[in-house]
Amino acid sequence: MTRTVLSVVRVQADGRVLAEAEIRRTEVPGVVASAMHVESGHLPLGTGARLVDAVLADPEVGRAERLVATMPLGDTEMLDRVRQRSGEVAARATGATKIVEARLLPRPR
């Protein structure tokens, strides 16, 4: 089964992509998935947090109740940002990746 990518968000600096995330619907109503990736090498402080902020600002994510995200296992900055911006958060390791499930907080209207 193919999952349609709804959008791609990027964090860039000086024309270089530092981090990127695909956002997709899932088969479960109210749940969106995101695959978050940061480039290797030295990155400016806050790159992972900026990527999480960009994902959470996406309109499709704003309409969802839950987010299931994959991110690099060793990246604690992204996980910390999800915890700051979400309700209940659970994370588990799967190889070199971690899967993070978060209850999204309603956006102010």
Single-letter code of the amino acid located at 50: R
The two tokens of residue 103 are 């209850």
Please provide the distance, in angstroms rounded to a whole number, between the alpha carbons at the two ends of the chain: 35
CA dist 36 and 9 (Å) reads 9
Judge contact between 39 and 78, C-beta under 8 A.
no
The pLDDT tens digits of the residues spanning 27-58 come to 999 999 999 999 988 888 999 999 999 999 99
Per-residue model confidence (pLDDT) at position 13: 92
Give me the amino acid identity at 56: L
- Inter-residue contact 52 to 82 (CB < 8 Å): yes
Q: Given a cut of 50, is residue 2 above it in pLDDT? A: no
State residue 41's pLDDT score: 85
pTM: 0.91
Report pLDDT digits (tens) over 58-103. 999 999 999 999 999 989 999 999 999 998 999 999 999 999 999 9
CA 35: distance to chain centroid?
A: 6
